[in-house]
Amino acid sequence: MPGTRGVPPDERADIALTNVDFHCHSTISDGVLTPADVARRAAANGVAALALTDHDELTGLATARAAADAAGMRFVDGVEISVTWGDATVHVVGLAIDPRNAALVAGLGSVRSRRTERAKEIAASLESIGIRGSLEGAYAHARNPALIGRTHFARFIAGAGFARDVANVFKHYLVKGRPGYVPQRGAALADAVGWIRDAGGLAVIAHPGRYGLPRLELERLVGEFREAGGAAIEIATGSHDSGHMAAFARLARETGLAASRGSDFHAPGEGIELGRAPKLPAALEPVWARLPA
């Protein structure tokens, strides 16, 4: 098999010492670079092993893999699944999944169709405060019409001058208590983890510091995730400060979960660059040590 679903055991330690980026986005979801450009940029940034993890989509993986192969960079098929857990939206990354797996493909299809419905509701809410044409405007920013999300609306809202930039849109619109907020209707946690496992992959709780969950709730989430067969927690990501990293490193050690690292790159100059997430703290088992060979 070209590239890698897994990594030969004798190379795993080397990868642990090099630059792994297991979380990023392309035009197939809400990133601005094509899958091939994401792979080429990661390689140019010194990334040794990359997973493309578009939201609820798999269709960028083949071209990203081909570009990674051409650049001599290892590539792992990934996805970031939207999960609804109680009132919270939680993201679960799948690594080394088989993109042809029927359960995974069908499950993601149902999540995407609920996104399409939500987009109409977001547009109606924005219309009610006088922001017109946002559905068409959001789709104009969506290079893949099968996957529409808040980032596409945010780019339209900022472009139309209602906010200074995308980060500011997420302060005044599209978030709880603000116009344009419609909760996501994602997969159930156990379903998302189940699809990933069914597809031969490893499930990772993405950026746990972003959910604003109290400590006990977070422990309950991690407990349910583990019960469902989850493998790892994302420790090193752009949205975690050093306090988050220390707390989640402790949680990973206590629960026997492995640790992952990813930039969550979406666009040049927005958030952090490919391959530039902080290093994993020492004494954690990296999730790449668990990848199938």
Of 45 and 239, CB closest to ligand AMP:
239
Nearer to Mn ion by C-beta: 57 or 264?
264
Min. distance of Cβ 161 from Mn ion in angstroms? 23
DSSP per-residue letters across 107-148: HHHHHHHHHHHHHHHHHHHHHTTT--SHHHHHHHH-SSTT--
Report the interface residues with ligand AMP, using CB under 6 A: 30, 55, 82, 149-151, 166-167, 170, 184, 266
Out of ligand AMP, Mn ion, none, which partner does residue 166 contact, by CB within 5 to 8 A per kind?
ligand AMP
Q: How many residues bind Mn ion (CB under 5 A)?
A: 5
- Minimum distance of ligand AMP from residue 15's CB (angstroms): 26
Nearer to ligand AMP by Cβ, of 107 and 149: the residue is 149
Residue 246, helix vs strand vs coil: helix
Give the nearest residue (CB) to ligand AMP: 149
Q: How many whole angstroms separate alpha carbon 136 and alpha carbon 148? A: 11
Which residue number, 19 or 53, has a Cβ lying nearer to ligand AMP?
53
Candidate residues 41, 91, 115, 152; the one interacting with Mn ion per rule CB under 5 A: 91
Whole-angstrom Cα Rg for the chain:
18
Of the candidates 3, 21, 106, 32, the one whose C-alpha atom is nearest the C-alpha of residue 270 is: 32
Binding window for Mn ion (CB under 5 A); candidates: 6-14, 42-50, 126-134, 206-214? 206-214
The number of CA neighbours under 13 Å toward the Cβ of 279 is: 7
Decide whether 141 or 150 has the Cβ nearer to ligand AMP: 150
The nearest distance, CB 277 to ligand AMP, in angstroms, is: 15
Rounded CA-CA distance 90/276 in Å is 23
Tell which one of 201, 264, 287, 288 touches Mn ion (CB under 5 A): 264
Nearer to Mn ion, 80 or 191 (CB): 80
Handedness of CA 275, 260, 5, 56 (dihedral sign): negative
Residue 81 backbone class (left: φ over 0; alpha: ψ -120 to 50; beta: rest): beta
Q: Does 115 bind Mn ion (CB under 5 A)?
A: no
**Whether the Cβ atoms of residue 152 and residue 136 lie closer than 8 Å to each other:** no
CA–CA dist 179, 166 (Å, integer): 15
Least gap, CB of 95 to ligand AMP (angstroms): 17
> Mapping DSSP to helix (H, G, I), strand (E, B) and coil, where does residue 157 land?
helix
78: DSSP letter? E
Among the listed residues 30, 56, 77, 191, the single contact to Mn ion using CB under 5 A: 30
Residues that bind Mn ion (CB under 5 A): 30, 80, 91, 206, 264
